[in-house]
A and B are shown apart, each in its own frame.
Chain A
Amino acid sequence: MSLVLEGLVAGRRGFRLPPLDLAVAPGDVVALIGPNGAGKTTLLKTLAGLLAPISGRIVRPGPAAYLPAPGAVSAGFPALHVAALGRAGRRRWAPALGPDDLDAAHAALLRLDIADLARRPFDRLSSGQQQLVLIARLFVQDAAVCLLDEPLALLDPAHAQQVETAIRALAREGRIVITSTHHLPFAMRADRVLSLGPDWIESAPPEAALAPDRLRALFGVETAACPCCGHAVA
């Protein structure tokens, strides 16, 4: 089932985004780009159900999960436990997390190649490692819609590659993944790009959305290269 938005207007007090009609098929990775303050986080949180939409309708194929930018989650317990908490919603009224929850967490860490972090306190991991642990938690949680806020921010190239691979794996299993990003080469590799300007939203294939004139319209400056890493966009 697809994620369907019908005339969705997201926003907060004194701030509203332009209306958005969109359908995202399972397995698709959507990159959400736009200048700072355009409302990318507001849109993601609205899609996640953390903020109420001002008007319009969201039809979700299943539960949604929201992940803030790297460094925003802080926890003193071990990485394995952080990943296992992905089952919290399913164990809402259960007396405790069970052994199979820990097994699922361990399997998720293993598949992202970070099983060695399992017993380390989350707070003492690097931003990149923390982000991988939180994506492992998305696998454990198994939400149908994964909304990631700048998942590549603050990451070195090696961790950025690992995170991008993990994001693709999330989508390959039939989840819908929407990530905001300033890393334009990543947006180029997405299935679809959602450009969020000051008073317009536009959904387009990456080649069209990242064409020089569209980027100029979006950011107001010439950006032949990615603003965050300097790589050529095309």
Chain B
Amino acid sequence: MAGLSPLPGWVPTLALSLLALVAAVVVLGSGPLAVPPADLAAALLGRGSSEAELALALRGPRLLAALTCGAALAGAGAGFQILFRNPLASPDLLGVSSGAGFGAAVALLLGAGALLVQTAAFMGGLATGALAVGCAALTRSGDGRLALILCGVVAGALASAGLGLVVTLAEPYSQLPAITYWLLGSFARATLSKAALSLIPATIGTATLLWLGFRLDVLSLGDEQARSLGLPARPLRIIALCAAALMTSAAVAVAGVVGWIGLLAPHAARLIVGEQAGRLIPLAMAIGALFAVVIDRLAAAFGPAEVPVGLLSAAVGAPAFLLLFVLNARRA
């Protein structure tokens, strides 16, 4: 069997998407300011109570950011894992997160506003990904996957070095805490405009990966097989990498570095629907969105001095990843 479930591929995806939606409604209406779902729905249409509108205004952007980032990171992770046929491939594979961190840190150092920081992070992530892909293309080795992994490490290391430099230059009482907090990752600082700004590239990347579908399966067989099957392997691989890098950059730009979702969600999805890209990516995205919403609610539940979601996702994600790995290995 392809996965544990004998159901058609879209059933688990639909179920998990609905679950993520339910979780979102619960998160919107719970907490110090409790609002029933019906009220929230009315508020969405512009006819709700003032409590509902307040809850929507306070929690909506953050929730939207969590849903977007969770789905985008999970989709990008699934894409990378398929492309490289390596279960350890994560959205950071091309050094995108380090590049985004570097971009954000530079912007924070220069005293830029929130939207500019997000833009700088986005551009930093994309530039690092492009650097990795460009260097790998220069090597012209037969199957470009090893070159890409190496160039990703190099590009990420360069960005990390730049980040280290910025950190040493930063003013220790105001800029440094801001940079550190940004790097730890959080959905708390999301605003509606920031979340919406990330939604656009994330959607473009997602649509591209979903269109690639079976072509990703062919690419996972290696460039030689892909070409022998009549597909333009190199251009398709670059399109896929760009789509995944776009999704990662969009997520990191709005939320900082939130690890493990991109590693964890594809593994969970693979356990259910198997490895076909057309089934794996949508389900991984639904799981990623659900995971991000739940983990963010947990982070907020720690009280006014909430735990950065990046820390919590690692604390929950690492053991969960181990569990999934054991489950997957036992089935093999």
- A-side interface residues toward B, CB under 8 Å? 45, 48-50, 63-68, 73-78, 81, 84-86, 88-92, 95-97, 119-121, 124, 141
Pairs of residues from A and B, 9 with the lowest C-beta to C-beta distance, nearest first:
A89-B230, A76-B275, A66-B228, A88-B229, A77-B276, A88-B218, A77-B275, A97-B214, A78-B2
The answer on a CB contact under 8 Å between B217 and A85 is: yes
Chain A residues closer than 8 Å to B2, beta-carbon distance: 77-78, 119, 121
Contact B214 A96 (CB under 8 A): yes
Contact of B229 among A77, A86, A97, A120 (CB under 8 A): A86
Interface string of B191-231 (1 = CB under 8 A from A): 00000000000000000000101110110111011111111
Q: How far is the CA of A88 from the CA of B274 in the complex (A)?
A: 20
Q: Is residue B75 within 8 Å, beta carbon to beta carbon, of the partner chain?
A: no
B217 with A81: CB separation less than 8 A: yes
For the complex, is B234 an interface residue (Cβ under 8 Å from A)? Answer: no
The residue that A77 contacts in the complex, of B222, B225, B232, B274, with Cβ under 8 A, is B274
Besides A65-B228, A121-B275, 16 more A-B contacts (Cβ < 8 Å) are: A50-B228, A63-B230, A64-B228, A73-B225, A74-B221, A77-B274, A81-B217, A89-B230, A91-B214, A95-B213, A96-B213, A96-B214, A96-B278, A119-B1, A121-B1, A121-B274
Chain A residues contacting B220 (CB-CB under 8 Å) are 75
Query: In the assembly, what is the distance between CA of A4 and CA of B318, in Å?
Result: 58
Contact B217 A50 (CB under 8 A): no
- The answer to the question of B85 belonging to the interface, with a C-beta cut-off of 8 Å to chain A, is yes
Taking Cβ atoms with an 8 Å cutoff, the residues of B that contact A are 1-2, 85, 211, 213-215, 217-218, 220-222, 224-232, 270, 274-276, 278, 332
Known: A73-B221, A78-B274, A121-B274. Contact between A88 and B214, CB under 8 A?
Answer: yes
Contact between A88 and B215, CB atoms less than 8 A apart? yes
A residues near B85, Cβ cutoff 8 Å: 74
B230 touches A95 (CB 8 A): no
Docked CA distance A131–B211 (Å)? 29
**CB neighbours of A88 from chain B (8 A):** 214-215, 218, 226, 229-231
Q: Are B275 and A90 in contact (CB under 8 A)?
A: no
Which residue, of A45, A77, A78, A97, has the highest number of chain B Cβ atoms within 10 A? Answer: A77
> In the complex, what residues of A have CB within 8 A of residue B217's CB?
75, 77, 81, 85
On whether the beta carbons of A141 and B229 are closer than 8 Å, the reply is yes
Query: B226 — nearest CB in chain A belongs to which residue?
Result: A88
In the complex, what residue of chain A is closest to B214 when comparing beta carbons? Answer: A97
In the assembled complex, which residues on chain B have CB atoms less than 8 Å from the CB atom of A66?
224, 228
- B228: A residues at CB distance < 8 A: 48, 50, 64-67
A120 to chain B, nearest CB (A): 8
Contact A81 B276 (CB under 8 A): yes
Closest B residue to A64 by beta carbon equals: B228
How many whole Å from A48's CB to the nearest CB in chain B? 6
| A126–B19 alpha-carbon span in the complex (Å) | 39
Instruction: Give 12 A-B contacts (CB < 8 Å), ordered by A residue.
Output: A45-B224, A68-B225, A73-B225, A77-B217, A77-B274, A77-B276, A81-B276, A86-B229, A88-B229, A119-B2, A121-B1, A141-B229
Q: CA–CA, A49 to B227, complex, Å? A: 9
